[in-house]
Structure 1
Amino acid sequence: MASGVVLKLLLFSLIGAYLTHGVRGGDPYLFFTWNLTYATLSPLGVPQQLILINGQFPGPSINSTTNNNIVINVFNNLDDPFLFTWSGIQQRKNSWEDGMPGTNCPILPGTNYTYQFQVKDQIGSYIYYPSTALHKAAGGFGALKVHSRPLIPIPYDEPADDYTVLIGDWYTKSHQELKHFLDSGRPLGRPEGVLINGKAGKVGDKQEPLFTMEPGKTYKYRICNVGLKASLNFRIQDHKMKLVEMEGSHTMQNVYVSLDVHVGQCFTVLVTADQTPKDYYIVASTRFLKEVHTSIAIISYTNGKGEASPELPPAPVGWAWSLNQFRTFRWNLTASAARPNPQGSYHYGAINITRTIRLANNVSRANGKLRYGFNGVSHTDPTTPLKLAEYFKVADKVFKYDLMKDEPEMSTDLTVQPNVLNMTFRNFVEIIFENHEKSLQSYQVNGYSFFAVAVEPGTWSPEKRMNYNLQDAVSRHTIQVFPKSWAAILLTFDNAGMWNIRSEIWDRAYLGQQLYTSILSPEKSLRDEYNIPENTLLCGIVEGMPKLPSYT
């Protein structure tokens, strides 16, 4: 009886806290309790320490619907401070819950924290993962699915089932060892293998089917790259894939035999069970690395007879193939659905650009220390999160705005400081990611969906705008940049808060290839940004400070 009373009190307190947070109370709430623990597992045959959520690796999937309010109480039973970030979830007006070290104090060992956010005006396939240290190399990641509301039609028939495929490269060394490598100036090195939903499979291995399909029916597959470094090619033996959604946007429904999925990216495809009823292999293999690692899993037809053929479908060769595939991705402008901001904007090509930021990736090995950065600045996280320093009006004691210039700085003498750009609220901005290296890069923008208007080889110049797709570029939150190439994105900075832009190649992000954008609303009202949550953790120089008066 006592435990039931405590549970009810906890439930009411969470709802109360969330309603004061500014989110509409009429939308449904989903409540989760997550316990983080270590366990020794052997995904690649070598025992290592992994991070489990409620005993699961990968972590549990979050199944939500557009506008649901999600409340996750996280108990940190690890020996490290820890944070989750919700990749691609825009969290309108709510960078308080972004889960990056620049916005949140970490959840200390032996304590808990409750994340509270809304999947506002979104649909699609997303992931969550740790944003602290090298924890992502040990697990702690999972799928976050946002289904369309029942009354909103989707541009395809309802599938027979909905499957999630989390693919990613994997290291056999522990996350502590990998972190030590980077802290001591050593590179991370190449991964040792590939996992599909937490397991590595080889042709001929006896394994249970990962998924089952009934002949003649069509299934939805959500494919996400949760790895640290490697782009992966995904394919299904003898089956074609119809692309229907990408990072929250319905796409034109082109058909592919394989897809390059870069780090941090998610694709949703439809697969029809139209082959001879038997077993088939799902295949994921690394791309653009000297040593190719491949993992397989089995999909089985109901009442099927026969094992999967040992002959795997080949992966494509070269990055030009991948670039050409990117050019085939188009936004489905006729689909009825919740749309990420700018809401229903089909005319982004007619908006005047108010600022152009060219971000060139830097590498430095000064004094034996490996660092990465943008435009001569390598970001480091202060002990006081940037968002809290700004909120408590002590930013001048923690960081300086605009250390980084808008033009590339190719010097290897990097400034190691918090990297914060001051952005004007509601400005329409062009960002050019310039990759002067021989390896592929992948970048993520938190808090926004942007229009991925171009990815091209060579060097960017203003004349290149003639090649932009200004009609139906996919609205998404990650973009890949091929070797010696550039990528252009367009977005309106209309989501007030402190938001992270980073390399999704995690050793690069950990060693400074990231920055934050500060977008302050001049009106300082609930219309533009929620009040600081009551349960916000305080640390650094703001620990113990009283909260400021709330917006009304």
Structure 2
Amino acid sequence: MAFLDVRKKIMGRVWTWTMALMLCLMAASVRSEDPYIYYTWKVTYGTIAPMGVPQQGILINGQFPGPEINSTSNNNVVINVFNNLDEPLLFTWHGVQHRKNSWQDGTLGVQCPIAPGTNYTYHFQVKDQIGTYFYYPTTGLQRAIGGFGGLRIFSRLLIPVPYADPADEYWVLIGDWFGKSHTALKQKLDSGRSIGRPVGVHINGKNGGLEPLYTMEPGKTYKYRICNVGLKDSLNFRIQGHPLKLVETEGSHVVQNNYDSLDVHVGQCYTVLVTADQEPKDYFMVASTRFTKKVLTATRVIRYSNGVGPASGGLPPAPQGWAWSINQFRSFRWNLTASAARPNPQGSYHYGQINITRTIKLVNTVSRANGKLRYGLNGVSHVDTQTPLKLAEYYGVADKVFKYNLISDSPDTAFPDLTVAPNVINATFRDFIEVIFENPGKVIQSYNLDGYSFFALAVEPGKWTPEKRKNYNLLDAISRHTIQVFPNSWAAIMLTFDNAGMWNLRSEMAENRYLGQQLYVSVLSPNRSLRDEYNLPETQLLCGIVKDMPKPPPYSS
């Protein structure tokens, strides 16, 4: 009996130790980090010829457009950027939300630029995201000569997408092209003039040619990821003889409608499926400017693998007028039955039933300050500071660099004059906000908010009033990160400011942004906690008045 008692005690301890070990392993697996993907970029000048005329461009690892970032939801992306240009450099990851990590956003309000001849390593996580995005340089007007490329985020294997796997995926980066160096364009703006009109349009850095950009096999379906990476013009995209089945827009699965063409406004991305079910030959892919007196057009060729003839016939026509584009926007709907990258299903977030805690109306303005052309929001034309705004805030010296809330939430003036100053507004952490963009001008606008997706509720002609809320889509509006505002029109969005940091809200028109049509939203957590925001990275570049200051105490967990 004594032997049996000892044996029971030993077995009981073994069972206890085994269970403890299993629990430790389970806890370790829960705490383990998501996968890492690594890139090394060498950024240089090189010769490019989007319009057939050689000029200086910005290459990444010798490529124009730059290399693709290929990731899966929750991946940690590490990019070591070597700046071999003769000027400072920063990259922004357009549409990537950087949860709790505005330090990696790549704008001059949060980061010191990478000096020539040095390198900096970006580290961000594509947390709970899917979809089609792109990156580009934010310093000066460098985007005008390249440095941009595609960034795709696949859904994790456990989360199905609402369509069959395509035979292949193809990037279509479209944009207007000005044919001048970025320094020449910058000098124009610095002297008080506009950059004028582009000289052409490109598709993946080229216009024209009979060699196929992509090849499709008969009967198979392909995914095309389309982004407008240009500076100024909305573009219409279409493929001769082939409908475009829209399946995703900037991170949201959408109701799958077929379109003859898509209006892609500056900074916007769409993902479509194209089936090779037509006569086997070559077909034209077309991108052309919208809402311009002179229409500029780019073409490239797609080929069937068993094709027997060149592309023929007239180019498919582009739509006409503003109303067509507004109606297309209204046709976009969130797919509420599809799974999503975020932890909860898309349909479970009933944004239309959440009480609004604040309404901000932003009116874009063009005027002259000290005799020079400037753009602004609510009467303030933003200027960047030598000390990035986020660093000044983190180090407790914001009052020495900028003032908060120079603009009103409810402007009631036409702003004939502009105040030139850093434009920073406070937002209360986790407040649910309504933002109205009002465009009294004659030119279309496009806006992006870094660090967030928002619900694009409405785009309508006229001026906004509270009664216009009856026109909102409060059921299945797309969650996205850019929105267009047509001339003499308004647009409305809703979002929760639940991502702590300093985030850039900007015009996607490069000229407007450079001349002040942007602001920063400071979203501070009530507690200095790692649950809400990451600490200043040890490798973060320091500049301005904080360069030699002691680092503040880190946030606690």
Judge same fold: TM > 0.5, yes or no. Answer: yes
Partner of 2:236: 233
1:146 aligns with 2:153: yes
Equivalent position SS for 1:315: coil
Over the matched positions of the two proteins, sequence identity in percent amounts to 73
Equivalent position SS for 1:527: coil
Partner of 1:8: none
The Cα offsets for residues 232-251 of structure 1, whole Å up to 9 and x where unpaired, read as: 00000000011000000000
1:71 aligns with 2:96: no
For 1:214 and 1:319, how far apart are their aligned partners in 2?
A: 36
1:387 aligns with 2:394: no
- 1:248 and 1:340 in contact (8 A); partners too: no
- 2:40 and 2:79 in contact (8 A); partners too: yes
Cα pair distance change 1:340/1:448, threshold 3 Å: farther
Quote how far apart the aligned CAs of 1:29 are.
Answer: 0.4
Partner of 1:454: 458
Residue identity matched to 2:138: S
Residue identity matched to 1:108: A
Alignment of 1:459-478 (within 5 A): 459-478=463-482
Task: Name which of 489, 495, 515 aligns with 1:491.
Answer: 495
For 2:186 and 2:75, how far apart are their aligned partners in 1?
A: 36
Equivalent position SS for 1:136: helix
1:109 aligns with 2:116: yes
- 2:134 and 2:149 in contact (8 A); partners too: yes
- 2:458 and 2:473 in contact (8 A); partners too: yes
Quote how far apart the aligned CAs of 1:25 are.
Answer: 4.7
Partner of 2:165: 158
Partner of 1:20: none
Number of residue-to-residue matches in the alignment: 526
Residue identity matched to 1:89: V
Task: Name which of 362, 376, 395 aligns with 2:365.
Answer: 362
Cα pair distance change 1:427/1:345, threshold 3 Å: farther
- 1:249 and 1:339 in contact (8 A); partners too: no
Alignment of 1:321-340 (within 5 A): 321-339=324-342
Return the TM-score normalized by structure 1: 0.94
- 1:122 and 1:340 in contact (8 A); partners too: no
For 1:346 and 1:331, how far apart are their aligned partners in 2?
A: 12
For 1:112 and 1:342, how far apart are their aligned partners in 2?
A: 40
Partner of 1:509: 513
- 2:368 and 2:418 in contact (8 A); partners too: no
Residue identity matched to 1:239: H
The structure that has the greater radius of gyration is 2
Quote how far apart the aligned CAs of 1:289 are.
Answer: 1.1
Equivalent position SS for 1:169: strand
1:200 aligns with 2:207: yes
Quote how far apart the aligned CAs of 1:304 are.
Answer: 1.0
Partner of 1:403: 406
Partner of 1:120: 127
Instruction: Note the residue ranges of structure 2 that are not aligned, 5 or more in a row.
Output: 1-29
1:62 aligns with 2:103: no
Return the TM-score normalized by structure 2: 0.93
Partner of 2:416: 412
Residue identity matched to 1:122: Q
The Cα offsets for residues 134-180 of structure 1, whole Å up to 9 and x where unpaired, read as: 00001000000000111211100110001110000001111000000
Equivalent position SS for 1:210: strand
- 2:64 and 2:147 in contact (8 A); partners too: yes
The Cα offsets for residues 267-311 of structure 1, whole Å up to 9 and x where unpaired, read as: 000000010111001000011111111011111001110111141
For 1:45 and 1:60, how far apart are their aligned partners in 2?
A: 22
Quote how far apart the aligned CAs of 1:195 are.
Answer: 0.6
For 2:305 and 2:83, how far apart are their aligned partners in 1?
A: 41
Equivalent position SS for 1:327: helix
- 2:367 and 2:373 in contact (8 A); partners too: yes
Residue identity matched to 2:552: L
Residue identity matched to 1:188: I
Structure 1 range deviating more: 307-316 or 38-47: 38-47
Residue identity matched to 1:155: P
Cα pair distance change 1:247/1:494, threshold 3 Å: same
Partner of 2:56: 49
1:315 aligns with 2:301: no
For 2:302 and 2:70, how far apart are their aligned partners in 1?
A: 22
Equivalent position SS for 2:334: coil
The Cα offsets for residues 44-99 of structure 1, whole Å up to 9 and x where unpaired, read as: 12222100000000000011000000000000000111100011000100001000
For 1:473 and 1:343, how far apart are their aligned partners in 2?
A: 11
Instruction: Note the residue ranges of structure 1 that are not aligned, 5 or more in a row.
Output: 1-22
Quote how far apart the aligned CAs of 1:368 are.
Answer: 2.3
For 2:343 and 2:205, how far apart are their aligned partners in 1?
A: 30
For 1:347 and 1:336, how far apart are their aligned partners in 2?
A: 15
Cα pair distance change 1:495/1:343, threshold 3 Å: farther
Task: Name which of 128, 133, 136 aligns with 1:129.
Answer: 136
For 1:26 and 1:309, how far apart are their aligned partners in 2?
A: 53
Task: Name which of 78, 82, 92 aligns with 2:99.
Answer: 92
- 2:338 and 2:346 in contact (8 A); partners too: no
Q: Which runs of 4+ in 1 moved over 2 A?
A: 23-26, 339-346
Partner of 1:259: 262
